Amino acid sequence: MQKNIKTVVLLGNILLCATTVAAAHTGSLVLSAPESQRNDSTDRRHRLEELVVMPFKQEKDLSLSPIATSTFNAGMIKNRNITDIKDISAAVPNLFVPDYGSRLTSPVYIRGIGSKINSPSVGLYVDDMPYFEKSAFDFNLSEIDRIEILRGPQGTLYGRNTMGGLIKVYTRSPLKYQGTMLRAGMGSYLGIDADAAHYGKINNRLGYSVSANYHHTNGYFKNHYTGKSVDEQNAASGRIRLEWRPSEQMQIGYNTNLDYINQGGYPYAVYDPANGRIADVSYNDPGRYRRLMSTSGVSVNYQAAAYSINSQTSFQHLNDRQAIDQDFTDEALYYARQWQSQNMISEEFNIKSNSHSRYSWLFGVFAFWQQIDNCVWLDYLNKRKRSEKNYELPTQGLAFYHQSVLQDLGLKGLSLTLGLRYDLEWARMDYSGGMRQWTGTETDGTGEKTTPLEPFLSKLHFGQLIPKVALQYSFPSSGIVYASVSKGYKTGGFNTSFESPEQRSFKPEYSWNYEIGAKHPFFDNRMSAELALFFIDWRNQQITQPLPSGKGSMLTNAGRSQSKGAEVSITYNLCKGLTLTTNYGYTHATFLDYKKGEADYRRKHLPFVPEHTFTAAANYTLPHPFKGVDRLNVNVDYNGNGRIYWKEDNIVSQPFYGLLNAKVSLSKGILTLSAWARNITATDYVAFYFESGNKKLAQKGKPFTVGADVQLNF
């Protein structure tokens, strides 16, 4: 299997390299990943004269667009010690990323819209390359130029699985940054980090970058049955990026990234909601998660005077393996193992206007092919039985989209945005499964198969129109007010647990998002403020329900929900070097129509949706604070979440809690020394909760940790 994996990855990279060469010789046109303005006071690399290229589908600055957004630039990422997507949870209004206990899945919720089990409801793009699986979401964010979070449906431009919103991550451009960075750090629980990156250019038109990262921790939680750590972790990643400007009009880029993680996981223990206590982790069989992921992309952008033509070709391979003690006790009862392999190829092509006339337009087409092979074993150890499931899930998709923007509609500054997308998708599941009963003393293959399930083939076909309308007024002072209506859409799929043919699949779900908002600078641009009010009608909701027999669960289109709330973001440069930031989000998300057996959950809160999110942060930079130091930077931030209901019945919940973090950096010449601390107040909270059988299980939040690192920039 490892040989096949390496072959697939190698072929994918060869294919993309060949596409790059062909583009250079034939003049085919592909978009390079966009870059933001750099605001990193601790980075000595200098900026080069740049080709101004708007993001792949973006027509103007996000701060002037009728979309609720949050952006983290490279300086904010470094100063706030952000290392993965979970670190921005609560730092963005109405964004929540619970800690599942391993990198197997990273469910993301925005404004109450999210998914814990099946395909994500919030999209992720890295350098304009799509990531479709939640198992690919959790990766190291070293050498990242900026992160953009778009709240609300983005289906018109991005299609499937962006019903709640979109996260866009951009790496650094070697045509903008030059130099070498070396960093090493150590923290609590034997946390070790090492980073290296080099940005160079062969000439003024050809740049390259190479970066690598390693992370280790002994883990935060101990398994009291084995006496060993539950969640130790080793992770490594590497990235290569090339950018070429053969002419003033064309820019070609190539990105490839390899990411590996090998970790223990699932520090779950029995939880008593009455007193809020979580027992010690204690189970006999080890929990593990291992993932190898390779992502590569070729992009080209061609800019003429009146239009630009863009293309993005991407390939992703993901192979992972999970093992978990599903009874979470010191008895040999249930042990589950899962193997997954994914290969995905996507191509996106668009053409958009560059003119500054009253009318601007964008036309695009997107196509993808995805193959997922999955194998799941569940061992009933005390009964000497094993349930085996094998399924292949090939999926193909094709979409056409358009967006028009009309400016100065009878009033200077008044504009109208009209968007429409048509998504087509074809999916198939080849399934086989059965129950193996062992009659001997070993469980390594000797035995006989009983109650076999006949293999079957299921097919699905989806088609969906996804519109958007936004009305915006731009003030002469650069502020805007807007109102928008947009449709969100999430594709249907297949169940792997079922008891009848009609339970094998579930249908798509969709939502309508109604939003009004305002963005405006104040006090000579020293302060910026953003406000958004939203109302979401969520229909045909995909909800997990138990099988009629009670043995397992499946997804059905069983619910309809409503989410409404508000978001406020304020950034204020109080004085030279001191920036204050505060964000607040309120979400009231409830079921309108949902029954599970005899239980009626109308008016109950949706699980995994914080009612409130709050952030307050202060960043202070002082040049030459004392002799021998060039710069002092201090960052303090407080992030709060709550109340979070863990199940549809709303019986168990996590009240509002907050985490206080800080980082201090001193720079002298090429040297930067930093010290950081997380969860300074040692706040106890539940990071994840679920029920299995008759047991209530929970995972504690990360404890107080401290660390320090040293960085060299040449």
Helix (H) or strand (E) holding 223: strand 222-223
Give the per-residue pLDDT at 450. 63
Q: What distance in Å separates the CA atoms of residue 498 and residue 547, rounded to the nearest whole number?
A: 7
Is beta strand 179-187 parallel, antiparallel or unpaired with respect to 191-203?
antiparallel
Give the per-residue pLDDT at 116. 80
Tokens describing residue 391: 């399924």
Is beta strand 695-700 parallel, antiparallel or unpaired with respect to 657-668?
unpaired
- Where helices occur in 147-250 by DSSP H, the ranges are 155-158
Q: What distance in Å separates the CA atoms of residue 354 and residue 249, rounded to the nearest whole number?
A: 12
Burial bucket for residue 609 (CB in 10 Å: 0-12, 13-18, 19+): buried
C-beta contacts of 433-438 below 8 A and 24+ residues apart: 433/387, 433/388, 433/389, 433/390, 433/391, 434/387, 434/388, 435/385, 435/386, 435/387, 435/388, 436/385, 436/386, 436/388, 437/384, 437/385, 438/384, 438/385, 438/386
CA angle 227, 232, 236 (to 5 degrees): 160
Give the per-residue pLDDT at 451. 63
Count the neighbouring beta carbons within 10 Å of the beta carbon of residue 489. Answer: 22
Give the per-residue pLDDT at 415. 95
CA dihedral over 60, 61, 64, 67, signed as positive or negative: positive
Q: What distance in Å separates the CA atoms of residue 104 and residue 124, rounded to the nearest whole number?
A: 16
Question: How far, in whole angstroms, is CA 37 from its chain's centroid?
Answer: 23
Give the per-residue pLDDT at 524. 87
User: Which residues touch 159 (CB under 8 Å, ≥6 apart)?
Assistant: 366, 397, 399, 401, 421, 423, 466, 489
C-alpha pair distances (Å), 344 with each of 8, 317, 318, 577, 579: 11, 7, 9, 45, 42
Q: What distance in Å separates the CA atoms of residue 343 and residue 245, rounded to the nearest whole number?
A: 30
Helix (H) or strand (E) holding 506: strand 505-506
Q: What distance in Å separates the CA atoms of residue 358 and residue 374, rounded to the nearest whole number?
A: 51
Backbone angles phi, psi at 77, to 5 degrees: -60, -45
- The answer to whether the beta carbons of residues 530 and 572 sit under 8 Å apart is no
Amino acid identity of residue 90, one-letter, is A
Whether the ω angle into residue 277 lies within 30 degrees of 0, i.e. cis, is no
User: Which residues touch 128 (CB under 8 Å, ≥6 apart)?
Assistant: 31, 33, 55, 56, 168, 297, 299, 312, 348
C-alpha pair distances (Å), 399 with each of 126, 158, 297, 422, 497: 20, 9, 19, 5, 30
- The answer to whether the beta carbons of residues 268 and 246 sit under 8 Å apart is no
Give the per-residue pLDDT at 339. 94
Q: What distance in Å separates the CA atoms of residue 496 and residue 376, rounded to the nearest whole number?
A: 10
- Mean pLDDT per segment of 10 residues, for the chain of length 714 residues? 40 38 34 36 36 59 89 92 88 91 87 86 93 88 92 92 93 92 96 96 94 95 93 95 94 95 93 92 93 96 92 96 92 92 96 88 96 92 88 95 93 95 95 79 56 78 95 91 96 86 89 96 91 96 80 83 96 93 96 88 94 96 91 96 93 95 96 96 94 88 96 94
Give the per-residue pLDDT at 180. 96
